[in-house]
Structure 1
């Protein structure tokens, strides 16, 4: 599963770029997307990089970004096949999310899993990924086959130019690869069972006992939404409580917004208006959490203000570049 010839390794998948490209009907090798460079994020100043767009095939990639070892025959050990297993579902899952009024929880969780992996594997999110998932870098697989590949991370001599480009050191790079390893590679336990860390993390996040969840889907018939080189928009800093939030581009005309708030009354009272007397009565009656059924998606259609706000957040939070299916967009 680890060995292949893929040198050009995408950190935002081609399928997600296709869903935002200028013309998805053209041959795969010729699909293009408009690329913009942020010049001043506070003033929203930017420039288009190439007037007719850049080819998706070579866009949002680094050579051997995830390669653990490179061999003389041109093959390398990396995570490409594991990433592909996530990526091959994205387009169909996206279509189901956009077309369904009664979405199965499993579909949304699978899509969120693929999208959150885009954050974890994104080279411009390395430090935040380490801060969030650093506990994973201390584990060592007991399975001999997996241990062989995991140990290659420790033996690596990372490319110095890549480290300079990403503004990280060798140890941070290796920690990051170890986190990716555990999040994408199924781990066989001593009892024979298979553990998927990412699945466990996602189910914990979507457990209503732990989190109150709000999900909003925005679509537009005419306007386009942007795609960030970071693969997401982080909403966590905007919350005045213990929680976190993500926004993900789905297609050139749709994005999805998730907010997760830790499910306890004191925390929730910072996020939503709960009158003091109501809060006191709830606690007096032994209520410390909110009962929440599986949350349906709240849909917003053709709202220029919503699209403008989202695009502004992408432009502000991108590392350096953002992308679109059109040269003109709301901001």
Structure 2
């Protein structure tokens, strides 16, 4: 495993955030995104935090979040390098997919969609807001060691490694040290251990899902013209993943400032909204590698539903390239002076006067 000097670890990659930049034409280090705090979820209401937005290079990141072992000096063993191939692919594939949607039939873009789906799911397991959920999803990996001797030696060495960030991370995300370290190990096992066909474990699991002959797979892509007023598409600080009915899973993903994707998976034999006879239950429904793809433009009801789900399910914040995300109420930002006045009352004026009189 290679050492790294990267310490500012993004849990929503910069690549994904830059697809939602306020101005994507400026230099990457200057790109910003609007950050909104959630004021109310049921009747979605949000408020912009900074008028100019926040810098993407420092947004949705924590110092040393993925550090497995901190070494002397500036180096550490972390998962950043392993994430990079997914991050680089995310921008490229998203742009290719959206560029070709109008010129091609959606069904012809299945390979891009499936790769993008893998990338989005990798983002899910790396999100610290879902540490406990990830551990539950992959509870079978508890106590498992990598098959590779080299990786196994690295993996075992993490048990007694120096990780100064532990207390701060655990406090912020509400997990124990054991849960945090177990989460890092689960990610390691999912993306670092090579398996057959050039795939790692997470890619193999998704491949098995796609090839499952009894799971119906629907991909719906919604896109909005850049000139459409108030069409802001939100970016959530964690993935939208729901199970509205038995045997049914619905996932939603931001693609960029103009588009989002909905994935609906239906396990035909385990769903309960359509009754199956014993004869039907014994059938092979032949859904292996069969992907249903739909594409729609400027469907504002779908955008409203997506943005409201983002506000409902986000941890604390949502993000956007637009100041006016569609379908949610945006409260006026309180000017700094007014905010301070509300907080400190009349004492603020007396403090200002004293400072002025003293020459400060």
Fold similarity call, TM over 0.5: yes
Aligned to 2:356: none
Classify 1:46/1:218 alpha carbon distance in 2 versus 1 (closer, same or farther; 3 Å): same
**2:302 aligned to 291, 306, 319, which one?**
306
> Does structure 1 residue 295 correspond to structure 2 residue 288?
no
Aligned to 2:256: 251
Classify 1:285/1:70 alpha carbon distance in 2 versus 1 (closer, same or farther; 3 Å): closer
Aligned to 2:19: 19
Number of aligned pairs? 315
**1:172 aligned to 162, 175, 179, which one?**
179
Q: In structure 2, what is the Cα distance between the partners aligned to 1:125 and 1:210?
A: 28
Q: CA RMSD for the aligned pairs? A: 2.0
Give 1:263 shift.
2.8
- With 85-94 and 285-294 compared, the bigger mean Cα shift is at 285-294
1:203-241 CA distance string (max 9 Å, x none): 1111241411111111111312100111x21122x2x21
Q: In structure 2, what is the Cα distance between the partners aligned to 1:301 and 1:208?
A: 30
Give 1:104 shift.
4.6
- With 86-95 and 146-155 compared, the bigger mean Cα shift is at 146-155
Aligned to 2:266: 261
Aligned to 1:320: 316
Q: In structure 2, what is the Cα distance between the partners aligned to 1:2 and 1:79?
A: 10
Q: How does 1:183-194 map to 2 (within 5 A)?
A: 183-187=190-194
Q: In structure 2, what is the Cα distance between the partners aligned to 1:78 and 1:296?
A: 38
Give 1:194 shift.
5.8
Larger gyration radius, structure 1 or structure 2: 2
1:292-312 CA distance string (max 9 Å, x none): 362231112101110011000
Q: How does 1:132-143 map to 2 (within 5 A)?
A: 132-143=137-148
1:33-59 CA distance string (max 9 Å, x none): 000111222232322111100000000
Residue aligned with 1:129, SS: helix
Aligned to 1:112: 117
Whether the 8 Å CA contact 2:217–2:292 is kept in 1: the answer is no
Give 1:175 shift.
1.4
Q: Which runs of 5+ in 2 are unaligned?
A: 328-360
Give 1:96 shift.
2.9
Classify 1:103/1:134 alpha carbon distance in 2 versus 1 (closer, same or farther; 3 Å): farther
Whether the 8 Å CA contact 2:247–2:272 is kept in 1: the answer is no
Aligned to 1:55: 55
Aligned to 2:247: 242
Q: How does 1:80-229 map to 2 (within 5 A)?
A: 80-98=80-98, 99-100=100-101, 101=105, 102-156=107-161, 157=163, 159-187=166-194, 196-221=200-225, 222=228, 223-229=231-237
Classify 1:285/1:296 alpha carbon distance in 2 versus 1 (closer, same or farther; 3 Å): closer
Residue aligned with 2:139, SS: helix
1:255-275 CA distance string (max 9 Å, x none): 1111112131xx3451xxx5x
Give 1:121 shift.
0.2
Q: In structure 1, what is the Cα distance between the partners aligned to 2:220 and 2:195?
A: 36
Residue aligned with 1:113, SS: helix
Q: Which runs of 5+ in 1 are unaligned?
A: none
> Does structure 1 residue 34 correspond to structure 2 residue 34?
yes
TM-score (norm 2): 0.82
TM-score (norm 1): 0.89
